[in-house]
Structure 1
Amino acid sequence: MSSSSLAGRLYTVGVSLLIASIAYPSQFFLFAPGFQDAASCIKALLPLNLLVLMVYWNYYLAVKTDPGQVPEEWVRSLLVPCNEERRAEGITGPRYCKTCDIYKPPRTHHCRYCRRCVLKMDHHCPWINNCVGYHNYPHFVRFTLYVSVASLYILILLIWRVRTILNDLSHFRFDSEPTTAEVILYVVEFALAIIVLFCVGMLCVYHLYCLARNQSTIEGWERSKVNRLIRRGKISPVKYPFDVGFYRNICLVMGNNPLLWLWPQQVRGDGLTFPVISHTGTITILDNKSLSKYTAIHMDA
């Protein structure tokens, strides 16, 4: 096992333990003793455990799902030549990865950590020991969303429990006075939940924004660079081709049924072709099966 692989496994184990350390000690030692009957306890803690289940499920899928690699048959040997006349018409050939020695489909980028090209690469995430790409991006988004909601839910329960204890003490009911160990656990759980909610919550909000605009993190960086050049008058205004509308943008990633957006499901599509708005350039290639046209913006990582 290589050192990088070992470090990646340690990251995933650490994340799994962090989730467990926030979710379970608080339930067993802090929340459960505060309920007067089992029914109230189940009613309050069942939603939390369902959230934790979805956190683990989507985390597992984000870690284990291959983000997408370029099929060997995507480009065989014959390429439509792109002369000056065709370039003037906005027609360019596919980008080429010198490291992998392959042509890259639209929105594909090379990951130096995974040492291969990834379809619609968003970023390499050490916390999942995997690239976030076309096939596992929805799992990653759902993971960050469920972590944020679960952390908020735990914070609400912690605040409720502390207020209950303070109310009992104000009425001289000292039987509910927490021990030193419980006070330490309260402080630790508060700190962990707030840190996770802030960090993962910010990440979640950013990726929901990217989801709504149908852009990856890499494409977001590229768009910022392009906008700066446009403002400086160094290049003519260009239109981002993949933003096909708020609702459709989400459907392209999370699925066509809004009721299933939060449910783990296999990503449809091949990660090679994408719907685009009109009046964008066209990439044309010839493989061993048929002449296929791919429309995309030309952006290099």
Structure 2
Amino acid sequence: MRGYITLPIIIVLTAIGYLFYTTLFVLIDGWLGLWTAAGLANAAVFTALAAVVVTTYGIAVLKDPGGVPASFSPDIEDSENTVHEIKRKGGDLRYCQKCSQYKPPRTHHCRICKRCVLRMDHHCVWINNCVGHENYKIFFVFVFYGVIACIHSMVLLVGSVSFALHNDQDNNAGSFNVSYIICGAVLLPLTIALSVLLGWHIYLILQNKTTIEYHDGVRAMCLAEKVGNVYRHPYDLGIYENLVSVLGPNIFCWFCPMTKIVGSGLRFRTAYDIPLSTFPT
């Protein structure tokens, strides 16, 4: 069903379109004047942000998150692959009964997409797609620019409301635009929700975890503490290496949506691949 237009996607696109129109033709025009230097500058910046948001959102909706090749087979004798994920019960190599194939590390079966997804983070109803190895970065970049656009619009909303209220007091008039109320009712919760989501995924990237691995790690940590052991996430390579593994080796392209994805999604570097003497702290 990936790429199909669903109600959540229509809601997202409608919200983007409404906020774009309101920000330009109500907030900027009502406060700064759309054709002033300040108005044109803000309109240009916000239009660029909106274009990036729509583009990255479209790619996140359409891009395949990454599936397991039919030819994949785990090689337990591969000396370069230091971690082999196994089933919690029995200790066998992870095998998907529904897909009838072995699962590479960090791969999980999505019951909605009805397939195994490489480095699966979660299934997102707002893009009608899984967030996985191939589209995780574009999803993150979409959220990042979405937060910036929302904050920009929020600043313009506060300034425009203050300007309108000041004019109403001077003119003893009740011309407060109801569009401000509707815009605030949409913009405020959206800004909060996207900011929380961005903060969550920044945390996950810094730890080199997926949402699924975070919850699995909490359980593993509790079990380890019961027997006196210390749990260590096997894919945590240190902050910089974690960032590189998700966003790419070129720091100047970390927030560029068109960079190449790192790795095949079938094998990942682990903390056990790094000598203790050089392991980043």
Q: What range is the shorter-chain TM-score in?
A: 0.7 to 0.9
Residues 66-101 of structure 1, C-alpha deviation per residue, up to 9 Å, x if partnerless? 0000011212xx9659xxxxxxx9876631111100
For 1:49 and 1:167, how far apart are their aligned partners in 2?
Answer: 28
**Aligned with 2:255 (options 250, 253, 262):** 262
For 2:160 and 2:22, how far apart are their aligned partners in 1?
Answer: 14
1:225 deviates by: 0.5
Matched, 1:9 2:2: no
**Aligned with 1:197 (options 173, 185, 191):** 191
SS of alignment partner, residue 15 of structure 1: helix
Contact 1:94–1:106 under 8 Å retained in 2:
no
For 1:59 and 1:191, how far apart are their aligned partners in 2?
Answer: 22
Matches within 5 A, 1:58-77: 58-75=56-73
For 1:52 and 1:254, how far apart are their aligned partners in 2?
Answer: 22
Unaligned regions of 5+ residues in structure 1, if any? Answer: 82-88, 281-301
TM-score by length of 1: 0.80
Contact 2:20–2:50 under 8 Å retained in 1:
yes
TM-score by length of 2: 0.85
Residues 157-210 of structure 1, C-alpha deviation per residue, up to 9 Å, x if partnerless? 011011112233343386xx636xx2x211010111101011121111101100
Total equivalences in the alignment: 262
Change (3 A) 1:136 1:279: closer
1:264 counterpart letter in structure 2: P
For 2:256 and 2:10, how far apart are their aligned partners in 1?
Answer: 24
Higher RCO (Cα < 8 Å, 6 or more apart): 1
For 1:192 and 1:173, how far apart are their aligned partners in 2?
Answer: 28
User: Larger Rg: 1 or 2?
Assistant: 1
* Corresponding residue number in structure 2 for 1:54: 52
**Aligned with 2:43 (options 45, 52, 69):** 45
Matched, 1:246 2:239: yes
Percent identity reads: 31
Q: CA RMSD in A?
A: 2.5
* Corresponding residue number in structure 1 for 2:143: 144
1:279 deviates by: 7.0
2:10 counterpart letter in structure 1: V
Matched, 1:135 2:128: no
Name the stretch that deviates more: 131-140 or 32-41.
32-41
